[in-house]
Structure 1
Amino acid sequence: MRHSLFVLALVLTACGAPTAPPEAPEPAVEHTAPSGAYSLDKAHSSLIVRLSHMGYSQFTARFETWDADLNLDVTSPENSSINVTIDPRSIASDNPPAGFIDVMRGAEFLNAAAFGEINFRSTSIERTGANTAQITGELTLHGITHPVTLEARFNGGYAGMQLDPNARIGLSAHGTFNRSDFGMAYGIPPEGTNLGVSDAVEVIIETEFSGPAWSAPPVTPSP
């Protein structure tokens, strides 16, 4: 019996173990959204940043005042473009201790008094799948500009309807950059320790955009 099992193992090794069939590529999201100029639907959008706090948790904050304009080309998405502006004074977090928000706005971090706007302007868009793309752009933060790449996903959209007479689309995006690249090194842990707040900043974006006006289909009179 042992000899038979040994022979079977040799046969399986020689032939190769069974492999799972390759996954089918993700189908493109069906949508009716047209090309054109889109503006941020602020009520359905969020901009979150996360940093490791001493390795124990991901400290989470958000910007409450920001805007974005999108020029969408549905036929050739790589020809689309986006521009984002953020008010650094609008940073907020859950249950902040007294004075904590002022510290984040202050000279050691965002220095919002000296640099009143954060800006991201796309420079290239590369499709990575039926519904995904890498959006590379110039991030200007703390008065310094560096390239940053976001992984983006198109969630679908429509041309409009009676209750929402403009086109609408949804996008999700995330990425990471080092704050020290932008002159914000305060509180970064000494090498070999976690005693501080990480250099790496994770950005998480959920958005909806409102686009061109909807043209209601003509009503066909009843015979």
Structure 2
Amino acid sequence: MKHSIVTAVALALFLASPAAFAAQDAVEVPPASTAPAPGGAYTLDKAHASLIFRVSHIGFSNYTGRFASFDAALDIDPADPAAAKLEATIDPASLSVENPPSGFLESLLGPDWFDVAKFPAMTFRSTKIEMTGDDTARVTGDLTLHGVTLPVVFDATFNGGYASHPFEPNARIGFSARGGLSRSAFGIAYGVPEEGSTMGVGDAVEFIIEAEFTGPAWADAPKAE
């Protein structure tokens, strides 16, 4: 037993040492292809995507929540990104917040807020994409939330992509996006402060999106050895 404890301690010290990190750094990761990502249908990589929202809490902080369950489909031609089409669905019942007091999450999902029993899905469908730079765009679309459909706008940044990788034969692209909406416009007005006051939960909601999509397989992709 004493020998095994000494061995475990020695192993832990080695793994924490600069030599161990140097050994890890010596492992070479094969590069991705230099071919551009192809056009076609892309699906959301849910393991590398997040949907977060923030709203003022009595003017003292930005209360933050996220939805754990959502999906999206993107049809895009890199040669004509303004013609891309994006559709997304969100399960509002998958709402997650930090350290909720007892009963608080149930309240958010109830009639005063998201009312998920009556409105079990949120959807988004793009209607217009305007390029604002080489890798940036303004995306307009119809958001259905709480039974109300209204246009929302968000700014998106294309972070890059590849046609394939030795570890992944499919194309991959990634985006970051930010936008905002008025929750009262969608019929969720509970707790909105009176005009001129911040004592409540703000009407303006900021949403933040990080998303990677996987696309068509590249026939000429190199095979991993």
Q: TM-score range by the shorter chain?
A: 0.7 to 0.9
The residue aligned with 1:87 is 91
Please show how residues 62-73 of structure 1 align to structure 2 within 5 Å.
62-73=66-77
List runs of 5+ in structure 2 lacking aligned partners: 1-33
Please show how residues 1-223 of structure 1 align to structure 2 within 5 Å.
32-217=36-221
Q: Which amino acid aligns with 1:169?
A: I
**Contact preservation (8 Å) 2:169, 2:221:** no
Distance across 1 between alignment mates of 2:154 and 2:101 = 31
Q: Give the CA RMSD over aligned residues.
A: 1.4
2:201 counterpart SS class:
coil
Q: Mark the CA change 1:218 to 1:140 in structure 2 (over 3 Å): closer, same or farther.
A: closer
Distance across 2 between alignment mates of 1:194 and 1:149 = 25
2:82 counterpart SS class:
helix
Distance across 2 between alignment mates of 1:113 and 1:102 = 11
**Contact preservation (8 Å) 1:161, 1:216:** no
List runs of 5+ in structure 1 lacking aligned partners: 1-29
Q: Which amino acid aligns with 1:87?
A: D
Distance across 2 between alignment mates of 1:113 and 1:107 = 8
1:45 counterpart SS class:
strand
Q: Give runs of ≥4 in structure 1 deviating > 4 Å.
A: none
Q: Mark the CA change 1:207 to 1:95 in structure 2 (over 3 Å): closer, same or farther.
A: same
Distance across 2 between alignment mates of 1:97 and 1:111 = 19
Q: Mark the CA change 1:126 to 1:102 in structure 2 (over 3 Å): closer, same or farther.
A: same
Distance across 1 between alignment mates of 2:164 and 2:112 = 46
Shift of 1:31: 6.8
2:142 counterpart SS class:
strand
Q: Which amino acid aligns with 1:172?
A: S
The residue aligned with 1:11 is none
**Contact preservation (8 Å) 2:38, 2:163:** yes
**TM-score (normalised: structure 2):** 0.82
**Contact preservation (8 Å) 2:170, 2:215:** yes
**Contact preservation (8 Å) 2:146, 2:187:** yes
